[in-house]
Chains A and B, each alone.
Chain A
Amino acid sequence: MSDGKDRAAAAARPDIDAALTATNLTLQYPDSEAPVVDEVTLTVPRGQVTALIGPNGSGKSTLLRGLSGRLDPVSGSVTLGGRSLDEYGDRERARRLARLAQEPSGPDGLTVEELAYHGRYPHRGFLDTVEDVDVAAVNRALGTVGIEDLRDRPLADLSGGQRRLAWLAMVLAQDADILLLDEPTTFLDLRHQLAVMDVVRTLREDDETTVVLVLHDIEQAARYADEMVVLGDGRIRARGGPEDVLTPALLADVFGVEATVERGRYGPRLTMIGPADR
């Protein structure tokens, strides 16, 4: 579709202040035959919240792994602060860029505070003790997430939602200016979904921190993101502000659903009607 291609080409935008740039990025897992992400070019604007949405298998999580350097590209490159990502040392990269995996798990006995201190790993030298900056960063992270009262509780005692917040605190303690969050709200109850997205909103108000997150809930993405990137079959199908991106035509084309889009108080509101005839 020529329209889709034009939009994908427009994803490389030299005019915006880029925190992270992917150029012709093609990603593939060792045991898969076809690339999962196919020649994607994407500029992530600094200090903003970018949401990646798309149907299952569209390559959202894979793109996030590629952006974090976890998956080596088959071709193309990722640039962070003017340098290619693979030129960074592991710790150096981790001080700039943090990624929260989809379903992280740690030892049962680990307490929330201990977990948050692990976020300081890239900042601490070999055999370094805990410094005041580390303590401050951990306290700030626990405060931002709002789980100071859970500090001494082991992960095994927490609900799924509380546990996710604890991991979020660890990622925040890492003090990176780019955060990549992979489906941070999936499988959480409503209350904890809102708690997680509240943190995202706090980060959005902060001009220093760039957030890229994968979300399943399109309305949630539209409400909290400055930029939306729609993926389908490993390619970018649309990108821009939520109001511009979310159209009935796109929802039918990429997600295969028939839906109406209205302008609501907190961004576009979708009403699903049914599967679209393709």
Chain B
Amino acid sequence: MASELGDGERPAPTRRLAWVSRELVVIAAGSVGVILVAMTLQLSFGAYPLAPLDAWRTLSNPAVLGNEAAWRAFLLGGTVPEYETGTLIVWTIRLPRVLVALLVGVNLAVSGAILQAITRNELASPFVLGVSSGAGLAVLLTVVVFAGLLPFLPLFAALGGGIAFLLVYAIAWQGGTNPVRLVLAGVIVSSVFGSIQTGLFLLIEDVGVAQGVVAWTAGSLVGADWAQVRMLLPWTVIAVGSAFAGARELNVLTLGEETADSLGLSVERVRFLLSAVAVLAAATSVAAAGIVGFVGLVVPHIVRRSVGTDHKRLLVGCAFAGPALLVAADAGARLALNPAQVPVGIVTGLLGGPYFLYLMRKHGGFGGFR
């Protein structure tokens, strides 16, 4: 042997940022661009119109940016100091809505990426494990049966999503689980919970409440404010942080459980923990914005086509593209039929459906995670 390092050798990819590919940078930059445009629209249009430049000027207003009391009010709750109307509208109504959209987008996209890896199925979504129907049922129960507990609605949504997920896991468990059984169990739980949900629907007597619930199940950011930001932020940090920490485990899981096991991955434990992270992310966003469909399905799909299957890249890509899609969709939802507002979930559904139709036509054999 000539040497340990022959001609075909390459230096170790040890540099910290070697995994950042050009495609990933393009996705990130494109997403930031979309976010900036959508944000400008969101901040300036509405019942109190502002010129785009004025909106940004208000946003960079040092009287707010540098005011500790204002930030305390935003991030910890409390009374917002006195400002002029434009400033108040931008800072307490329009900006938090954008922030909620960003956070919900991150959560849904990351949750989808995790679940697609775990089930090795590109068509899996945050709601395939029953999170959506569980959360939806919990919300309806709260509204119809336990109306006194309405202030705790988000909490119940997350709880319902979590319970449904545990139920799915219990049904799928047979001395271990596998992706197919998990998906099937998700279908079982979803259809039963969905039926109960529809049944409860007919019990609502107040038309206003019924309409609110419909909007919520369709996914809506109307009325989102700093309270939602405060609720989302810590959970988002935890969920996204854990997802990044588990990126290599996700990679190994996509090789199939036989191989993952042979490589020394504790398949069942890792799969359970990562599912829990995905449920946490999805349930938090359900609690804040209702059931926004297709984001968790489409975003990982689009990002994977561009950056490949490595989950470090994929998750970072999702953390940019998810918010971009949701903020843009919400801008559309708010402005399309102005002054009427459409739930954002309807817009994402209208965008997501055709995207899959296009894929189906263009690539006959997509769907499997191979």
- By beta carbon, the residue of chain B nearest A133 is B12
| Docked CA distance A68–B257 (Å) | 14
| Docked CA distance A4–B16 (Å) | 60
Q: Give A86 Cβ to nearest chain B Cβ, in Å.
A: 13
Decide if A98 is an interface residue (CB 8 Å cutoff). Answer: yes
The answer to whether A106 and B255 touch across the interface, beta carbons within 8 angstroms, is yes
The answer to whether B262 and A131 touch across the interface, beta carbons within 8 angstroms, is no
Q: Which residues of the other chain, B, contact A94 by a CB distance below 8 angstroms? A: 262-264
Q: Which of B13, B256, B263 contacts A130 (CB 8 A)?
A: B13
| Docked CA distance A122–B265 (Å) | 8
Q: Which of A104, A110, A129, A143 contacts B309 (CB 8 A)?
A: A110
The answer to whether B256 and A101 touch across the interface, beta carbons within 8 angstroms, is yes
- By beta carbon, the residue of chain B nearest A129 is B14
Chain B: residues with Cβ within 8 Å of the partner, total of 33
Q: Which of A89, A106, A109, A131 contacts B308 (CB 8 A)?
A: A109
| Docked CA distance A170–B308 (Å) | 19
What 0/1 readout, one digit per residue, does chain B (237-269) give for beta carbons within 8 Å of chain A? Answer: 000000001001001101110110111111000
12 A–B contacts from the bound complex (CB under 8 Å)? A70-B262, A90-B265, A101-B256, A105-B370, A106-B256, A106-B259, A108-B370, A109-B308, A118-B251, A118-B263, A121-B265, A139-B5
What 0/1 readout, one digit per residue, does chain A (122-150) give for beta carbons within 8 Å of chain B? Answer: 10101101111011100100010000110
Q: Which of A93, A101, A132, A134 contacts B259 (CB 8 A)?
A: A101
The answer to whether B256 and A93 touch across the interface, beta carbons within 8 angstroms, is no
Decide if A91 is an interface residue (CB 8 Å cutoff). Answer: yes
What 0/1 readout, one digit per residue, does chain B (298-341) give for beta carbons within 8 Å of chain A? Answer: 00000010001110000000000000000000000000000000
The answer to whether A121 and B14 touch across the interface, beta carbons within 8 angstroms, is no
Q: Give B282 Cβ to nearest chain A Cβ, in Å.
A: 23
Decide if B199 is an interface residue (CB 8 Å cutoff). Answer: no
Interface centre among A68, A107, A129, A151 (most CB of B within 10 A): A107
Given A90-B266, A108-B370, 20 more pairs with CB closer than 8 A = A70-B262, A90-B265, A91-B264, A93-B264, A104-B258, A105-B370, A106-B259, A109-B308, A118-B251, A118-B252, A118-B255, A119-B263, A121-B252, A121-B264, A124-B248, A126-B245, A131-B12, A135-B12, A151-B8, A156-B370
The answer to whether A130 and B14 touch across the interface, beta carbons within 8 angstroms, is yes
The answer to whether B263 and A122 touch across the interface, beta carbons within 8 angstroms, is yes
| Docked CA distance A95–B265 (Å) | 11
Q: Which residues of the other chain, B, contact A127 by a CB distance below 8 angstroms? A: 245
Q: Which of A100, A122, A135 contacts B264 (CB 8 A)?
A: A122
What 0/1 readout, one digit per residue, does chain B (333-368) give for beta carbons within 8 Å of chain A? Answer: 000000000000000000000000000000000000
Q: Which residues of the other chain, B, contact A98 by a CB distance below 8 angstroms? A: 262-263
Decide if A177 is an interface residue (CB 8 Å cutoff). Answer: no
Main secondary structure, interface of B, reads: loop
Q: Which residues of the other chain, B, contact A109 by a CB distance below 8 angstroms? A: 304, 308-309
Residue ranges of B at the interface with A (Cβ–Cβ < 8 Å): 4-6, 8-9, 11-14, 16, 174-175, 245, 248, 251-252, 254-256, 258-259, 261-266, 304, 308-310, 369-370
The answer to whether B256 and A104 touch across the interface, beta carbons within 8 angstroms, is yes
| Docked CA distance A114–B21 (Å) | 14
What 0/1 readout, one digit per residue, does chain A (147-178) give for beta carbons within 8 Å of chain B? Answer: 01101000010000000000000010010000
| Docked CA distance A30–B181 (Å) | 15
Decide if A99 is an interface residue (CB 8 Å cutoff). Answer: yes
| Docked CA distance A31–B360 (Å) | 37
| Docked CA distance A30–B177 (Å) | 12
Q: Which residues of the other chain, A, contact B255 by a CB distance below 8 angstroms? A: 104-106, 115, 118
Q: Which residues of the other chain, A, contact B11 by a CB distance below 8 angstroms? A: 135
The answer to whether B256 and A174 touch across the interface, beta carbons within 8 angstroms, is no
- By beta carbon, the residue of chain A nearest B258 is A101
The answer to whether A99 and B254 touch across the interface, beta carbons within 8 angstroms, is no
The answer to whether A30 and B174 touch across the interface, beta carbons within 8 angstroms, is yes
Chain A: residues with Cβ within 8 Å of the partner, total of 46
| Docked CA distance A156–B366 (Å) | 13
Interface centre among A93, A124, A139 (most CB of B within 10 A): A139
Contacts A105-B370, A131-B14, A135-B12 hold; do A68 and B262 have CB atoms under 8 A apart? Answer: yes
The answer to whether A130 and B12 touch across the interface, beta carbons within 8 angstroms, is yes
The answer to whether B264 and A132 touch across the interface, beta carbons within 8 angstroms, is no
The answer to whether B256 and A139 touch across the interface, beta carbons within 8 angstroms, is no
Q: Which residues of the other chain, B, contact A115 by a CB distance below 8 angstroms? A: 255
Q: Give A214 Cβ to nearest chain B Cβ, in Å.
A: 14
- By beta carbon, the residue of chain B nearest A121 is B263
Contacts A101-B256, A107-B254 hold; do A70 and B264 have CB atoms under 8 A apart? Answer: no
- By beta carbon, the residue of chain B nearest A100 is B262
| Docked CA distance A104–B261 (Å) | 12
| Docked CA distance A152–B245 (Å) | 26
Q: Which residues of the other chain, A, contact B254 by a CB distance below 8 angstroms? A: 106-107, 110
| Docked CA distance A108–B365 (Å) | 12
Interface centre among A98, A108, A121, A122 (most CB of B within 10 A): A121
Q: Give B116 Cβ to nearest chain A Cβ, in Å.
A: 10
Of all A-B residue pairs in the complex, the 4 with the closest CB atoms, nearest first, are A94-B264, A122-B264, A101-B258, A91-B264
Q: Which of A99, A132, A149 contacts B262 (CB 8 A)?
A: A99
The answer to whether B256 and A105 touch across the interface, beta carbons within 8 angstroms, is yes
The answer to whether B310 and A139 touch across the interface, beta carbons within 8 angstroms, is no
What 0/1 readout, one digit per residue, does chain A (62-93) give for beta carbons within 8 Å of chain B? Answer: 00000010100000000000000000011111
| Docked CA distance A33–B248 (Å) | 38
The answer to whether A70 and B261 touch across the interface, beta carbons within 8 angstroms, is yes
The answer to whether B12 and A106 touch across the interface, beta carbons within 8 angstroms, is no
| Docked CA distance A174–B14 (Å) | 19
Q: Which residues of the other chain, A, contact B256 by a CB distance below 8 angstroms? A: 101, 104-106
The answer to whether A70 and B258 touch across the interface, beta carbons within 8 angstroms, is yes
Q: Give B243 Cβ to nearest chain A Cβ, in Å.
A: 13
Q: Which residues of the other chain, A, contact B248 by a CB distance below 8 angstroms? A: 121, 124
